[in-house]
């Protein structure tokens, strides 16, 4: 997070309007002196991605002392640091580290219309795939299941990429970069491995991954993403997870075919799939012994 510290010698009037302007200049405003060790405070704000401003209350001039006295009168607090959050006086060190910076849902900005439209559009393949496994002719099940699983893996990669973009947005320390970029690639790698599993556990694992990635993002994104993103992710992750669970039920109860791929075993030597062709080969229900497949 960029440090917006006022430079030494910053000349500001000590009137109340000036003070209110400083307090409103960022979500978190830290009033401190050159001797105040605010490194733990800044480290937490950077980790959470909360925008802040650090205001140095130097005592080397009459103006600076007047500004500090005005701050004392305003807060009734006679020591530094003095920390404001969302324009409200919070306190010092102890109050800062006890504060939960997650924004309550009722105070979040509304989800922008483009995010609703494009996010909702992204759910169409999930709903269509799950519905198709219940209502479409059995001959189509292999293609539907393959498309659904592939799309779910793609979306998990997309979700992880959010962390990569956030890591590139600001300069971060090396441990934070390892953590952030690791969160970025992990969903894609796990989804890739899941695609090598038989269809029944693959559907269940992908449904579980959507729930896990949402819970992880909810806890670590903090102020890095727009405040409405948490709400949108809740709706979209719920829709994707429910669709995959419906697909799982269809696969387990109706014996949906194996997902599309080349079956390596039980071919009759007539080309890659024998005289039956790939469509007939893929029509083997899940009750049949497991076969190795290449995607």
Q: Map residue 263 onto helix, strand or coil.
A: strand
Q: Map residue 36 onto helix, strand or coil.
A: coil
195, 150 contact by CB (below 8 A): yes
Pair (53, 167) in one structural domain:
no
Q: Assess if residue 232 is contained within a domain.
A: yes
Q: Give the helix, strand, coil percentages of the chain, each rounded to 5.
A: 60, 5, 35
- What are the helix (H) ranges across 16-59? 16-23, 39-48
Pair (111, 236) in one structural domain:
yes
Instruction: pLDDT tens for the chain, 295 residues: list them.
Output: 434 444 333 334 445 677 888 888 888 899 988 888 888 888 888 777 677 888 887 766 777 778 788 888 888 888 889 999 988 899 888 889 888 776 554 455 678 899 999 999 999 999 999 999 999 888 888 889 999 999 999 999 999 988 888 777 655 567 777 888 888 999 999 999 999 998 889 999 999 999 999 988 887 776 567 778 888 899 999 999 999 999 999 988 875 444 443 233 334 444 343 333 333 333 444 444 444 333 3
Number of H helices, E strands in the chain: 10, 6
HSE-CB for 284 with a 13 A CA cutoff:
21
Pair (176, 245) in one structural domain:
yes
Pair (290, 272) in one structural domain:
yes
Pair (110, 217) in one structural domain:
yes
What is the spatial distance between Cα 105 and Cα 213, in angstroms, rounded to a whole number?
Answer: 19
Pair (244, 211) in one structural domain:
yes
Pair (93, 112) in one structural domain:
no
229, 49 contact by CB (below 8 A): no
Pair (113, 208) in one structural domain:
yes
Q: What is the pTM of this model?
A: 0.58
Q: Map residue 191 onto helix, strand or coil.
A: helix
Q: Assess if residue 183 is contained within a domain.
A: yes
- Looking at 98, 132, 154, the residue that finishes a domain is 98
Q: Assess if residue 3 is contained within a domain.
A: no
Cα distances (angstroms) measured from residue 120 to each of 24, 154, 238, 239: 35, 16, 12, 9
Number of separate domains in the chain: 2
What is the spatial distance between Cα 217 and Cα 156, in angstroms, rounded to a whole number?
Answer: 12
Pair (75, 207) in one structural domain:
no
- Looking at 60, 76, 98, the residue that finishes a domain is 98
- Looking at 98, 131, 158, the residue that finishes a domain is 98
Domain that holds residue 150: 106-294
Cα distances (angstroms) measured from residue 174 to each of 103, 148, 169: 27, 37, 14
Q: Assess if residue 5 is contained within a domain.
A: no
Q: Assess if residue 87 is contained within a domain.
A: yes
Pair (198, 260) in one structural domain:
yes
Pair (274, 196) in one structural domain:
yes
| Torsions phi, psi for 32 (to 5 deg) | -150, 170
Pair (70, 157) in one structural domain:
no
Encode burial over 150-174: b for 16+ CB neighbours within 10 A, e otherwise: bbbbebbbebbebbeebbeeeebee
């Amino acid at each position: 997070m960029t440090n917006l510290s006022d430079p030494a010698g910053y000349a500001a009037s000590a009137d109340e309007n000036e003070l209110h302007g400083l307090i409103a200049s960022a979500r978190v405003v830290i009033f401190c002196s050159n001797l105040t060790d605010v490194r733990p405070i800044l480290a937490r704000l950077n980790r959470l991605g909360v925008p802040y401003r650090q205001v140095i209350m130097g005592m080397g001039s009459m103006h600076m002392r007047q500004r500090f006295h005005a701050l004392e009168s305003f807060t009734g607090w006679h020591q530094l640091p003095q920390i404001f959050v969302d324009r409200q006086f919070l306190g010092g060190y102890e109050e800062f580290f006890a504060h939960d910076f997650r924004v309550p849902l009722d105070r979040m900005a509304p989800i922008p219309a483009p995010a609703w439209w494009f996010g909702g559009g992204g759910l169409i393949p999930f709903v269509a795939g799950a519905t198709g496994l219940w209502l479409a002719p059995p001959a189509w099940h292999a293609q539907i299941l393959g498309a659904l699983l592939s799309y779910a893996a793609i979306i998990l990669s997309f979700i992880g990429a959010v962390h990569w973009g956030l890591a590139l947005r600001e300069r971060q320390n090396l441990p934070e970069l390892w953590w952030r970029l690791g969160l970025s690639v992990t969903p894609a790698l796990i989804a890739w491995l899941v695609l090598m599993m038989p269809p029944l556990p693959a559907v269940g694992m992908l449904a579980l991954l959507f729930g896990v990635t949402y819970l992880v993002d909810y806890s670590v994104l903090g102020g890095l993403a727009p405040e409405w993103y948490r709400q949108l992710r809740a709706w979209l992750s719920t829709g994707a997870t429910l669709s995959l669970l419906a697909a799982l039920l269809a696969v387990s109860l109706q014996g949906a075919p194996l997902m599309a791929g080349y079956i390596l075993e039980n071919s009759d030597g007539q080309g890659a799939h024998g005289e039956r062709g790939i469509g007939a080969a893929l029509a083997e229900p899940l009750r049949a012994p497991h076969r190795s497949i290449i995607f």
